[in-house]
Amino acid sequence: MRSFWSEPFLWIHLAGLAAVPICLEACCLFLAVGDPVSPGWVEMSLVAVVGIAPVLWMQWSRPFSIFSILAVAMKPEQLTDEQRCLLSQFKTSGNKFIAGAAAVFMLGLLWLLYQTAPLVASKAAFLPQWRLAGLLAATLAFLAGNLFLQVSLSVARVLFISEAAFWATPPYPLERICQEFTIPGLQVNQILPAEISQASAKMPAELESAKREPVSSD
């Protein structure tokens, strides 16, 4: 177990991957609403651009700060050095590659969803059959799916970083966090219960101490 795996925010955002199928299913359902009012490639391009581009741009230029939940985020000055080391990992070229690959993957999935949508039209019959409203809802669902996927994959990449590589990473400069990361919602001093935060802070030190202890032989 790597010491930085004790950071609870990593696992909270990795769990967001479970929301991706739900968002994609909703997107497919809304794409089945009403009859097309424009060529298919126009509708799909609209959903793709609005659903993919903002999240991709965010991950490339101002990555999502994982030290947040819903509409609240940790103030940068409240982050520990270890947490700022984690932030540094989200500004690497590896994170940009993951973001680009995820965008291409989601574009392919959108094409499949658009082709599949007519097959589920009967399940969307209970919804108002307003095509433009359906496209708007599908776009929002697809945007949410992209956000959950991009953040979860960036966290998954960090989890596979070696212990040595992590500790060789300098903490991200405090004064640049607000300008170079996307920090959603209201900034607060603490989000998680104090017991959880303290336990995660102690874990790296305990693991490091355990590594240094000599192994006794009988």
Looking at the predicted structure, is the pLDDT value of residue 171 above 70? yes
Confidence of residue 2 (pLDDT cuts 50, 70, 90): confident
Q: What is the pLDDT of residue 36?
A: 87
Confidence of residue 70 (pLDDT cuts 50, 70, 90): confident
Q: What is the pLDDT of residue 160?
A: 92
pTM confidence score: 0.86
Q: What is the pLDDT of residue 3?
A: 84
* Contact residues for 25 (Cβ-Cβ < 8 A; gap 6+): none
What mean pLDDT do residues 142-159 have?
Answer: 97
Looking at the predicted structure, is the pLDDT value of residue 201 above 60? no
Task: Choose between 165 and 109: higher pLDDT.
Answer: 109
What mean pLDDT do residues 188-210 have?
Answer: 62
Confidence of residue 203 (pLDDT cuts 50, 70, 90): low
Confidence of residue 207 (pLDDT cuts 50, 70, 90): very low
Q: What is the pLDDT of residue 202?
A: 56
Structure tokens at 205: 């030190």
Looking at the predicted structure, is the pLDDT value of residue 209 above 90? no
SS3 string, the chain, reads CCHHHHCHHHHHHHHHHHHHHHHHHHHHHHHCCCCCCCCHHHHHHHHHHHHHHHHHHHHHHCCECCCEECCEEECHHHCCHHHHHHHHHCCCHHHHHHHHHHHHHHHHHHHHHHHHHHHHHHHHCCCCCCHHHHHHHHHHHHHHHHHHHHHHHHHHHHHCCCHHHHHCCCCCCHHHHHHHCECCCEEECCCCCHHHHHHHHHHHHHHHHHHHCCCCCC
